[in-house]
Amino acid sequence: MEQYTKILEELLDIKDELYLKGLITPFGGNISVRCPDDPSKALVTPGSVYKKNLKPEHFIQLDLQGNILNETKFKPTSETPIHLAILRARPDVNAVIHTHPVHATTLGVSDLDFLPITADAVIIGNLPIVEWTETGSPKSGQIIADAIGEHGNFVLIRNHGLFVCGPSLQFAAGITDMIETVCKELVLCKMMGVHPRVLPKEKIAVIHELMKSHSV
């Protein structure tokens, strides 16, 4: 029980952080995390609940096939099939965060490229983008899980939003924020009518070496 109390507190903390940054909206975005005592189960946010008002009792426990395991009057988010597909495909992943970040979504619907303009951008590397898909279907879950791949951590759905996964909620939230920050910088450059200066190859190489030596 103590493990669940801790993970639910963490879920609410991450939710608050994402909400305050505008990365999730009152009814947009969702989070899942593996259950601490059983990796074949997960906790997910409900659908149609105002995000700011989420409480521990709102979270729904599921097995990875989507069967509800706890007594609840709430229904899981419609995008649960994507969360579960990622968790099934990636035993190393413990958390999945889906957000509707304004600048990343703008980049996805525009002609902007994700360029290596900062160290954060270099750390992210390539930002894969897939076309819009009906996110409530099992097929969409497989599409997104395949796009993330065996070793990736994120994918941008055009005309929709961002999925990020990782070993912890903090990791997934941090990468989400990092991607949105770089996209904001790129969108601002576009709005200013200037072409962003990218880092030269030799400096990108230095950042890659630092990533290896410091586990960035």
The structure's pTM equals 0.96
Per-residue pLDDT at 11: 98
Residue that the structure tokens 């200066």 belong to: 197
97 burial via Cβ count (<10 Å: 0-12, 13-18, 19+)? buried
Per-residue pLDDT at 3: 87
pLDDT tens by residue, 17-55 = 999 999 999 999 999 999 999 999 999 999 989 999 999
Task: Write phi, then psi, for 166 (nearest 5 degrees).
Answer: 180, -175
Instruction: State the Cα–Cα distance between residues 112 and 190, nearest whole angstrom.
Output: 8
Instruction: Give the other-Cβ count within 10 Å of 172's Cβ.
Output: 28
Residue that the structure tokens 């609840």 belong to: 72
E strands present in the chain: 30-35, 38-44, 60-63, 95-99, 129-130, 154-157, 161-166
The pLDDT tens digits along the chain (216 residues) read: 788 899 999 999 999 999 999 999 999 999 999 999 999 999 999 998 999 999 999 999 999 999 999 999 999 999 999 999 999 999 999 999 999 999 999 999 998 999 999 999 999 999 999 999 888 888 999 999 999 999 999 999 999 999 999 999 999 999 999 999 999 999 999 999 999 999 999 999 999 999 987 765
Q: Provide the pairing of β-strand 60-63 with 38-44.
A: antiparallel
Residue that the structure tokens 């994507």 belong to: 82
Instruction: State the Cα–Cα distance between residues 120 and 205, nearest whole angstrom.
Output: 14
Per-residue pLDDT at 214: 73
208 burial via Cβ count (<10 Å: 0-12, 13-18, 19+)? middle
Question: What structural domains and CATH numbers belong to the chain?
Answer: 2-214 (3.40.225.10)
Q: In sequence order, what DSSP letters do the residues of 124-171 get, joined into one string?
A: H----EE----TTSHHHHHHHHHHHTTT--EEEETTTEEEEEESSHHH
Per-residue pLDDT at 95: 99
Which of 9, 54, 84 is closest to 1 using CA atoms? 9
Per-residue pLDDT at 215: 60
